Amino acid sequence: MIEIEHIYKSFASRRGKLNLFSDFNMTVKDGTFLGIQGKSGAGKSTLLSIIAGLQKPDSGSVKIDCVDICALSDKKSAAFRNQNIGFISQEQSFLENFTVLDNVRLPSYISGSKHTRQNDEQISAHAIKLLTDLGIEHLSSCYPREVSGGENHRVLIARALINDPKLILADEPTESVDAERTEEIIKIFRDLADHGKTVVLVTHDNDALKLCDEVLKV
């Protein structure tokens, strides 16, 4: 469960102080598929970053399964995020000298999984299944520079899901993806929520929002 209580967040701008959130509260129950929409600059991406522990609010608390991530050190926050949150952002990048498959597998090794041959094979099989579900298994041996923008988005989704997180945060995951693949990706998120995962999706796609359980406008 996500519990956001009384958060404030502001930024300095040329016109002075910009208040994005003032006494903002939100609760998202487990297994909910929440869609977030709003105008550019309204704070949608910032909200996801705060939930992921990548940014801290000026004040207030953000609890995920009763853990206040705002109170965690950067190191503990990173460890918590890697184990519990699948984060898909437009600003994420890849290790250029690693193949697509290696990039997808990477969070599993960061999480501290033992490097046994059997475990490596299980991680690889899981990564291949995710790539297959997203229609890009043929890219597993390619390097990021050889992959299109839309395909890169799907690689990011696979990487976010590799550790089987309880919470998935997705910031415009279908941007630059064709209509057919967009529908497939949103259905994957819908299926994850139906199986108990919590999914928070930022999108401008009204068709995608129709599959959400709830829609928040910011």
pLDDT digits (tens, 9 = 90+) for 169-217: 999 988 877 888 788 889 989 999 999 999 999 999 899 999 999 999 9
The 10s digit of each residue's pLDDT in 30-83 is 999 999 999 888 899 999 999 999 999 999 999 999 999 999 999 999 999 988
- Residues 46 and 90: beta-carbon distance below 8 Å: no
Q: Which CATH number is 24's domain given? A: 3.40.50.300
Q: Number of folded domains in the chain? A: 1
The 10s digit of each residue's pLDDT in 1-30 is 999 999 999 988 777 788 899 999 999 999
Mean pLDDT check: name the lowest of 22-26, 124-128, 152-156, 213-217: 152-156
Domain limits at 20?
Answer: 2-217
For residue 114, the model assigns a pLDDT of 55
The pLDDT of residue 84 is above 90: yes
The residue that leads in pLDDT, 143 or 149, is 143
User: What are the residues whose beta carbons fall under 8 Å from the beta carbon of 209, sequence distance 6 or more?
Assistant: 35, 37, 203, 215
pTM: 0.87
Tokens of 49: 């970053």
- Residues 21 and 9: beta-carbon distance below 8 Å: yes
For residue 167, the model assigns a pLDDT of 97
Alpha-helical regions (H) of the chain:
44-52, 74-84, 100-110, 117-133, 149-161, 179-194, 206-209
Q: 113 pLDDT band (50/70/90 cuts)? A: low
